[in-house]
Structure 1
């Protein structure tokens, strides 16, 4: 069986700091800061996720409460102008809408080793075709498991997304969608269809500052399409129309698609029990 990135630091929370890959690789986490505990699902106030995110000092944000079906929560929204963020090993299930939304010039973000299951709209990057400032958005999504989620793995407007070594299966509409002016580089992912076979979708929209409507573009390199999954790539699009990740970061941890990779992503993504630092500091 293969292994996930950062396997050498699985048992040390603080050792994870600075180990992000991709666009969010400069996220330092709480290397020199305390832990902040999310203890409720309120939109604001003490113990809420919003309260932790507005802190200026470095923090590890640790969830002490779960959310999902039956809870009045809207997922994770990153806005405005957030930068250098690393979302790692989340388990998110049974939401109806907007599980992770990255909007309003938020950029240089990595989402890794997360488990998503049983909900409708998974990840929206770029909220609206009028938000032309979202052209700056850059996101890396790797080693995640999208398990029976309906759509948006992700759906992208304007920005650039590098997908690698993710496992997406049994989607309800499409797996990945490129909309207005977006660029997606899909590399060594596993797409396993259920009843719906279309893997890549393209939505045409008009940017507020452009006269004509456009869709986005997708490049697929080394992807594995299973159970009749249809890539539906645009034949007129060449590599020169899509960014290459090496233009932004020199290395990333990736392996060829295989049954071993599927096994690792099924078992090891999502929330994991990690030892907290011996010098535990708690933000108040």
Structure 2
């Protein structure tokens, strides 16, 4: 388990954004004066930080299977043709909905920018990449529904203003797996921003920006769904910007949180409920009026007589602005806590710092990046 932090820097050594702000020097070509500094001392400009998968914008399909964490296998529409969204209409030829409902693998790109008003949930079928790079697309009205699907990548979209009961920006249920949500901006929905329930698993949420919202991310719907013990989710390099609660709230599942910045929550930052295992690593927690970051809720699983809370391990987290961590002193069941290295060999994590905070404020959510060229891929 000793390989869970520093050694993970090695796999990025050829990425051009890496430099000396890391505790381990990885490649001679970056061997210059910065490398002696501990990570906390990195300057506060984004150029001194390396974000994971920095190379994926060099060619279109380089995104596939580059997620870190539990969603790392997601290939999306890698093996399918391009599908061009040519209209902002809710349905019909050239619409996003038409592409998402098709059964074959598709890599969906946008030929225009603007707002797509969804009059009903937009169901996404398996083996789809919805790739908003190169344009600015906002989804409003309703949200995406990932139901009984696998290998879906959603990248560089905005979600705002979802209305109606049970309207989430991205709803992942039931039985969906190998999902990656990357660089999306999500705010102001009537229910949740991201819900992961009903035995959906192997999911990564990365570099997203969450704001203007109450119930942000729910993992595990209620104590009766004991099948949710299979849920595994990674959330990293996200910015939870004044959202009220659920960053995330977890029942049953295993969740790895690292290098996220959560500030000015309204109730709590992270909540561990029935049998959940949350590994919080090198995150920044900056309280507003509510000072306690971690909350525990006791609930009774349907197949268990005894009500239980969840487990939360904090390693290397930074608690600032008077934040109290709220960790339980007697973590009964600590031995049941998972470690991410049992499931994946590497991830990009560094000590939390002011520099990381600056980067997460600017490099999360929708990004103005050009649409990469689509280069032919070798036959799989």
Contact 1:44 1:51 in 2 (8 A): no
Aligned twin of 2:100:
52
Contact 2:49 2:356 in 1 (8 A): yes
- SS of equivalent to 2:189: coil
Cα offset, 1:48, TM superposition = 5.6
Aligned positions of 1:106-117 closer than 5 A: 106-117=200-211
Aligned twin of 1:118:
212
Aligned positions of 1:17-28 closer than 5 A: 17-28=64-75
- SS of equivalent to 1:94: strand
Contact 2:61 2:374 in 1 (8 A): no
Change (3 A) 1:66 1:110: same
| Range that drifts further, 79-88 or 6-15 | 6-15
Change (3 A) 1:220 1:149: same
Unaligned segments of structure 1, at least 5 residues: none
Does residue 251 of the first structure (1) align with residue 324 of the second (2)? no
Give the greater-gyration-radius structure (CA): 2
Contact 2:60 2:373 in 1 (8 A): no
Aligned twin of 1:65:
138
Does residue 101 of the first structure (1) align with residue 195 of the second (2)? yes
Unaligned segments of structure 2, at least 5 residues: 1-47, 106-126, 141-159
Change (3 A) 1:70 1:133: closer
CA offsets, 1:208-242, max 9 Å, x none?
Answer: 11101111010000000011111111111164231
Contact 2:175 2:200 in 1 (8 A): yes
Aligned twin of 1:195:
289
Aligned positions of 1:141-152 closer than 5 A: 141-152=235-246
Change (3 A) 1:37 1:240: farther
Change (3 A) 1:242 1:160: same
Q: Distance in 2 between matches of 1:100 and 1:9?
A: 24
CA offsets, 1:177-198, max 9 Å, x none?
Answer: 0011100000000000000001
Q: Distance in 2 between matches of 1:178 and 1:35?
A: 40
- SS of equivalent to 2:327: coil
Aligned positions of 1:227-242 closer than 5 A: 227-237=321-331, 239-242=334-337
Q: Distance in 1 between matches of 2:294 and 2:307?
A: 19
Change (3 A) 1:178 1:49: farther
Contact 2:170 2:195 in 1 (8 A): yes
Cα offset, 1:60, TM superposition = 1.6
Aligned twin of 1:184:
278
Q: Distance in 2 between matches of 1:22 and 1:191?
A: 21
Change (3 A) 1:135 1:43: farther
- SS of equivalent to 1:181: coil
Greater relative CO (CA pairs within 8 A, separation 6+)? 1
- SS of equivalent to 2:161: coil
Aligned twin of 2:371:
276
What is the aligned length?
281
Aligned twin of 1:88:
182
Aligned twin of 2:168:
74
- SS of equivalent to 2:324: coil
Q: Distance in 2 between matches of 1:8 and 1:249?
A: 20
| Range that drifts further, 238-247 or 190-199 | 238-247
Aligned twin of 2:41:
none
The alignment's C-alpha RMSD in Å is 2.6
Contact 1:22 1:252 in 2 (8 A): yes
TM-score of the two chains, using structure 1 as the length reference: 0.90
Moved over 6 A (4+): 38-46
TM-score of the two chains, using structure 2 as the length reference: 0.68
